[in-house]
Chains A and B, each alone.
Chain A
Amino acid sequence: MRKICLTVVGMYIMLIHAFSQVSSKDTSSYKPKKLKFEEANFVSSYYNQSADKSAVMGGRTDSKGIADVTDFANGLDIKFVGWDPKGRKNSITAGIGVDYHTAASQAYVDSNGTARNYGTRLYPTLDWTIENERKGTEFGLGAYYSAEHNYYHSVGLNTSFSKKTRSNGEISGKLTTYFDQIKMIVPAEFIPVDSIKSSGTAAVTDSIIYVTTASGRTEALSYRSGQVISQGTKTEIPSKSRDTYSGSFGFSQIINTRMQASLGFDLVYQTGYLGLPFHRVYFNNGKDTIENLPSQRFKFPVGLRLNYFLGDNVILRAYYRFYADSWGLLSHTASIEVPVKITPFFSISPFYRFYVQTAARYFAPYAVHSPQEQYYSSNYVLSTFSSNFFGAGIHFSPPNGIAGTGIHELEFRYAHYTQTTDMISDVFSLSLKFK
């Protein structure tokens, strides 16, 4: 009897103990984290070019066709990262770019070569992405703005999406659009006359004339009865629009433990004023005019990348691109880069790129175009040529940064570029990553 009682009491105590656990609140659920600084990237480049056959002077090969350029380009972007209540990673990247350039051909916007030959471009960017690491998806929105002397402004918008596949791959897509306003600065000898009204029986016309001054500014001179009645320096300069719509699509795949590849293509449509108002064309009869190009252009580039880890210290990075557009221009690009890891944190990367293109159907050299042609340009960017681009870079990324400076990655590159259009250039680039 005592055993039965003790047994029953013991079972009762066990039952009570089983249900005596205090159900604690689930603390494993994710708590949102505020945005915090992730990294900053600074890229600076100096570009120096020697060339002739400038588009401003219609492809002339004499001293007036000089196309020497220097460009000092700098960009800084800062990235912040945070997590939302659903555990998704949010990234906001704010960037600013400032370029300063000198262009010898720009001086010949005035036919005497006294127009301003320098300019500055400012272009801020803002991007937001949200990543669901569990689903392997990422969605993004971005905005871009650019302003420079001879280009009123450009506004860009983009949206992107990517998804990882189950077989170590990733598909991605991006839609981008740019709305540009081109300031119609024309060479001084092509003065557009905007007649307000004619004076009837008088021999002169009331008008506004835009003149490109020696400093490169465009001024408006208002005439009445042949006399200048006002001279404004802040007059509204006419502009024309250029819109660009592009869709970029890509697929990347890990092939094996040493190789991965990607295939990408773009579909691009441009409409509006697709030339530049200060590019001259000289006809075969000695007359000159401003280049005239179609108001639509379709572009189709497709590119293939292949990276292979050879041995323990050498990587092969190969790239090929085919390009075709509705102006008849075809091109091929092939490049190879071979990073050699001297240590796990320091590598040297020589590279070589070959490019070849056939001319657009609207291109002809200096004094070849006929006045009967509907479209014409002597901009050698649209001509037949090939180019070589080669150099080397160094990459330094110690795990704890460089000597306490906050710099976690440093890259420096030098490249030499030559075109069969007699253009030669050198570019020095520096990239720093701060964390």
Chain B
Amino acid sequence: MSAMQSVRNGRSPTGQMRRGPSPCDCGGHAESEPTGDTLISARDLWLRRGERDIIAGVDLDIRQGEIVTLIGPNGAGKTTLVKLLLGIAKPDRGHVIRPSSTRIGYAPQRFEVDPAIPMTVEGFLRLGTEVSPAAVATALAEVGALRIKRQQLSRLSGGETQRVLIARALLRHPNLLILDEPARGVDFSGEAELYEMIGRLRDRRQLGVLLVSHDLHVVMAKSDRVICLNGHVCCSGKPEDVSQHPEYARIFGAQGALALGVYRHHHDHAHDLTGELKPISDVEAQGRGS
């Protein structure tokens, strides 16, 4: 309750910038001033829906060539934060800095194409962008999906869909990839492969990558930095430091392996800290439809 109170105060009419519920920096890492190779920055982002602060005082920087993973339980505001970074949603307070040199390639969380829309993979990659068939083939080859070029988009598997989305993002010549739950609907071995591929893309193209995930261990190995989000930034830093952090343990460790198993397998609900069931993120539901 007191946390909620402080949040309310934080939104005082004077509009003064105030920090959210104290972000505990772990591993000595704190968001500093944006530097020259910063691709995107967020400063003190706040977003309220109804009575709840979905995003509470979030700071974030992503630099060229680093893979940053955003983890957090369902309903932690991960997708909302991504939407704020992309400019799809507007924050109530705070701001996002996107230097003009930043080109973002984005792959959304759920991409379930209505079977009523006839569209081949190739047609989708060329839609709305001036790209040659050769460029399409190159992008598909780069994500290992060349053989599905002529398939209908609505018939792809989860892993194929993610690869196609990343190929589309690559065709925009990005220096920053934002991938929202790329492992969704992908089996365990496919997941490891997918992260391998993302790592290779980063190495080859010197991309900055923001990965959203609620699966932990596979992601950890590939990340340069992990940000643990639960409305506010609980902790952030190198993967090994974050995994030692008490906040991280509280969110992911308190319920131990059980919680991990739950996050991995059941995406239709989440557990709050007292173990009560919560409906799936309101945010995600609100993001859909017109």
The answer to whether A and B belong to the same complex is no
Binding site for B on A (CB under 8 A): none
Binding site for A on B (CB under 8 A): none
